[in-house]
């Protein structure tokens, strides 16, 4: 059996976890730079505000209905997600973290367990220990556990937020209830095409001919169909290391000097190096690009990028910053107003399988140095230790006018209890 655990309205629930006064009240969370609405409590959904809606377009509705609006507090959300996943690890060693607020649990060897009680125990413990309400869907396959989870979330009072598909009757009833556009893995375009063929729900989809599904939805669609039919086809996914890592920014103002751009590009290279070390990879190539502002038609335009093949694989911030700076010098032209730049690292190798060259190799002394820097920055905050070529006073910040405290990750924001 598979269980899918999904945190209900996760970002909004994180905000409520430390603000009990917000329970039952409408809560919305905004995207980067406070642009769009990316999380809504059930009360906000009832107002008809769609996911991804531009905040300024719904400002009047938000104000009129006393909606509590927050800037995205990703430090808080990430830490709360980590706490939820740690609790789930106690219930099975086979856990696949699907997203920041979802995880699959493989329940093998649980034949003698009361699965309903087990699911309710998970639901109660996570909610009590973290303050984050969750829904649990359990079924013989991953896609059916997704369906079961939707039912648990839709009818929390009837299901106690836990629903199990453990019979053919329940499977068929659930699939007939689920609209085709809500099926996991069926996108908007596919759902339109399927509706044109009178396929309106998940059960209709499972009745399609295998050959047609394979031809029109590829092998992924066929696996999904079999999974919905109760034949385990979709197993746990192994998280693969990223093949490219990019750090890019649009500047708050135009830059005209090489020194200004070099500081930014150096910082981007350091960020890429940190991400490389996190996944224990080294890169063999680096791309640097710079852009002028395409919206300023009154200014001359210039777009340029360069890819440098590195003489040796590395994930050292010092070495990548040097190569990024050299690349920038090759493409920079005086007389332009630059609005955007970025660094992309490519062609990865595992850091423990590096092939040494005869004449030039990475500086091995950088390995313990980078480990120390990463540990300090993880303990005391990002960018506490920087390269001399970085602006020590500069930190790129998003527009976050409605940011809540970082209750669990910053000692200065820890909750205060008055007794």
Most distant pair of Cα atoms in the chain: their distance = 74
**CA-to-CA distance for 2 and 236, rounded, in angstroms?**
10
The confidence band for 388, taking pLDDT boundaries of 50, 70 and 90, is confident
382 strand-pairing partners: none
* Residue 417 forms part of a structural domain: no
Q: Taking a C-beta distance cutoff of 8 angstroms, is the pair 247, 271 a contact?
A: yes
**CA-to-CA distance for 149 and 163, rounded, in angstroms?**
7
- Are 115 and 223 in a shared domain? yes
- Are 100 and 151 in a shared domain? yes
CA dihedral 310, 316, 321, 322 (to 10 degrees): -60
- Are 189 and 109 in a shared domain? yes
Tell me the CATH number at 141: 3.30.70.270
SS3 at position 93 = coil
* Residue 406 forms part of a structural domain: no
Q: Is the pLDDT of residue 359 over 70?
A: no
Among 27, 45, 72, residue at a domain's last position: 72
- Are 249 and 352 in a shared domain? yes
pLDDT average, residue stretch 249-266: 90
* Residue 207 forms part of a structural domain: yes
Q: Taking a C-beta distance cutoff of 8 angstroms, is the pair 32, 398 a contact?
A: yes
Tell me the CATH number at 281: 3.30.1490.100
pLDDT digits (tens, 9 = 90+) for 171-186: 999 999 999 999 988 8
Domain range holding 42?
9-72
* Residue 221 forms part of a structural domain: yes
- Are 251 and 297 in a shared domain? yes
* Residue 238 forms part of a structural domain: no
pLDDT average, residue stretch 359-381: 82
- Are 303 and 185 in a shared domain? no
How many independent structural domains does the chain possess?
A: 3
* Residue 173 forms part of a structural domain: yes
Rg (CA), the chain: 25
- Are 92 and 211 in a shared domain? yes
* Residue 315 forms part of a structural domain: yes
- Are 135 and 52 in a shared domain? no
pLDDT digits (tens, 9 = 90+) for 302-346: 999 999 999 999 999 999 999 999 999 999 999 999 999 999 999
Among 18, 47, 72, residue at a domain's last position: 72
- Are 151 and 289 in a shared domain? no
- Are 159 and 250 in a shared domain? no
- Are 87 and 222 in a shared domain? yes
Q: How many CA atoms lie within 13 A of 390 on its CB side?
A: 21
pLDDT of residue 393: 60
* Residue 61 forms part of a structural domain: yes
pLDDT of residue 395: 52
Q: Is the pLDDT of residue 153 over 80?
A: yes
pLDDT of residue 119: 93
Tell me the CATH number at 14: 3.40.1170.60
- Are 80 and 148 in a shared domain? yes
Among 42, 72, 102, residue at a domain's last position: 72
């Amino acid at each position: 059996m598979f269980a899918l655990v999904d945190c209900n309205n996760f970002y909004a629930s994180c905000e409520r976890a430390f603000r009990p006064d917000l329970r039952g009240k409408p809560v919305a969370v905004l995207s980067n730079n406070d642009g769009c609405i990316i999380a809504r409590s059930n009360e906000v959904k009832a107002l008809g505000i769609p996911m991804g809606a531009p905040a300024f377009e719904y400002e009047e509705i938000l104000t009129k209905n006393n909606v509590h609006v927050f800037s995205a507090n990703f430090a808080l959300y990430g830490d709360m997600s980590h706490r939820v996943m740690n609790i789930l690890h106690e219930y099975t060693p086979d856990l696949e973290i699907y997203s920041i607020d979802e995880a699959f649990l493989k329940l093998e060897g649980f034949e003698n367990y009361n699965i309903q009680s087990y699911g309710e125990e998970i639901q109660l413990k996570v909610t009590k220990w973290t303050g984050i309400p969750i829904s649990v869907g359990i079924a013989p396959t991953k896609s059916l556990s997704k369906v079961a989870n939707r039912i648990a979330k839709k009818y929390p009072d009837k299901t106690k937020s836990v629903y199990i598909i453990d019979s053919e009757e329940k499977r068929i009833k659930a699939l007939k209830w689920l609209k085709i556009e809500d099926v996991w893995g069926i996108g908007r375009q596919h759902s339109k095409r399927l509706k044109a063929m009178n396929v309106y729900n998940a059960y209709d989809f499972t009745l399609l001919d295998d050959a047609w599904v394979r031809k029109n939805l590829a092998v992924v669609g066929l696996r999904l169909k079999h999974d919905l039919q109760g034949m385990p086809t979709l197993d746990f996914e192994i998280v693969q290391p990223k093949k490219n890592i990019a750090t890019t920014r649009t500047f708050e103002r135009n830059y005209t000097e090489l020194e200004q751009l070099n500081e930014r590009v150096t910082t981007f290279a350091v960020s890429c190096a940190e991400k490389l070390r996190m996944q224990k990879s080294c890169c063999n190539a680096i791309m640097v690009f710079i852009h002028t502002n395409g919206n300023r038609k009154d200014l001359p335009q210039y777009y340029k990028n360069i890819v440098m093949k590195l003489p040796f694989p590395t994930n050292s911030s010092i070495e990548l910053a040097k190569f990024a700076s050299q690349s920038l010098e090759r493409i920079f032209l005086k007389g332009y107003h630059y609005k955007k730049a970025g660094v992309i690292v490519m062609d990865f190798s595992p850091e423990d399988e590096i092939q040494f060259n005869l004449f030039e190799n990475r500086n091995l002394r950088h390995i313990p140095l980078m480990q120390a820097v990463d540990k300090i920055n993880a303990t005391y905050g990002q960018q506490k230790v920087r390269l001399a070529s970085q602006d020590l006073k500069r930190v790129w910040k998003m527009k976050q006018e409605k940011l809540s405290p970082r209750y669990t990750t910053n000692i200065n924001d820890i909750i205060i209890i008055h007794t």
